[in-house]
């Protein structure tokens, strides 16, 4: 059994294999970003939102929950799970110079 598809105005069936006719486009962006993710900053023990003192805080900086007084580092209070809650923060990677 043979199947033929002819539509008005269409070209005849090409003898070129489909994988040779397909065009692949590779997109490379030159803009770099330091943004890794958007996260929620909340206490890992009681899940109360925690505010930061400044616009930039190192993930190894000490942090304390205002409600249950749980001590830890900023990285311990970050939650990358979706959906983010109102205490959203942006997590950026910053390259530091040699020490």
* Average predicted confidence (pLDDT) for the chain: 79
CA pseudo-torsion sign 81, 87, 93, 99? negative
3-state secondary structure of 76: helix
User: Residue 1: its pLDDT value, please?
Assistant: 54
Strands 71-73 and 62-64: antiparallel
pLDDT single digits (tens) 49-97: 998 888 888 889 999 999 999 999 999 999 888 777 777 888 888 777 6
Tokens of 89: 């923060």
Helices of type H across 1-99: 18-21, 74-77
Q: What is the reported pTM?
A: 0.58
């Amino acid at each position: 059994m043979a199947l033929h598809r002819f539509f008005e105005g269409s070209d005849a069936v090409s003898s070129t294999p489909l994988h040779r006719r397909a065009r692949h486009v590779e997109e490379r962006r030159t803009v770099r970003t330091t943004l890794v993710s958007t996260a929620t900053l909340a206490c890992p023990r009681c899940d109360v939102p925690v505010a930061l003192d400044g616009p930039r805080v190192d993930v190894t900086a000490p942090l304390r929950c205002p409600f249950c007084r749980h001590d830890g580092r900023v990285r311990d209070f970050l939650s990358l799970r979706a959906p983010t809650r109102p205490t959203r923060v942006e997590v950026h990677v910053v390259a530091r110079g040699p020490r």
